[in-house]
Structure 1
């Protein structure tokens, strides 16, 4: 048993994802500071925040629900990355790193829900 959510690999990788998203959005147009930039950063921050909050809950079903919310934030971020790409706000290698890390985090979240709720 882990002593803290900070020991969860998915939490650690989602923290890394935040750094990638902040670096990526640093180059977005200033006009997007309160638009897409802010939305992407908030969605990224939501992922480890919900993992941490869920881990801190006493009941397994609550933990599962928070992991599902984290997964939803990941899907939101994935959509926002697609929008940023279509608007031409991103460059190849920068966005690719964020996309790969997000994909890895999403797979880990899905696996975590399956592990916590085998009936799923």
Structure 2
């Protein structure tokens, strides 16, 4: 047995992304724990959380709404990545890697959402 969302690649990728962001933030300064660190972690986790929540007992229009929340959370993560790069918590390579994966997930969610009737 499994939940419907567990089979979705967008959910699987967003779960991996959340863990990647968590690992990245372990090196952030302690003074950021309740600011940028918390914000980016919550935003990254929100992507998968909204996909799973929207997929359970929801109509397709409602599921689309939750997918929209996931897309907005990705935008929030990307903004936090810029903040982390500007504050020199991550280097350009790490920024680019995380940015590109966020872009990939966003496009996959949009494509999936567009296929829902």
1 CA distance for matches of 2:80 and 2:5? 27
Does residue 1:71 correspond to 2:71, yes or no?
A: yes
1 CA distance for matches of 2:80 and 2:3? 34
The 3-state SS of whatever aligns with 1:102 is: helix
TM-score normalised by L of structure 1: 0.90
Q: What does residue range 2-41 of structure 1 map to in structure 2 within 5 Å?
A: 4-41=4-41
Q: Where does residue 104 of structure 2 map in the other structure?
A: 104
Q: Where does residue 62 of structure 1 map in the other structure?
A: 62
- Where in structure 1 do 4 or more consecutive aligned residues deviate above 2 Å? 91-97
Deviation (angstroms), 1:3: 5.8
User: How many matched pairs?
Assistant: 116
For structure 1, the 5+ residue unaligned runs are none
For structure 2, the 5+ residue unaligned runs are none
2 CA distance for matches of 1:3 and 1:23? 26
2 CA distance for matches of 1:65 and 1:77? 19
On the 8 A contact 1:64/1:116 being kept in 2, the answer is yes
On the 8 A contact 1:20/1:97 being kept in 2, the answer is no
On the 8 A contact 2:14/2:105 being kept in 1, the answer is yes
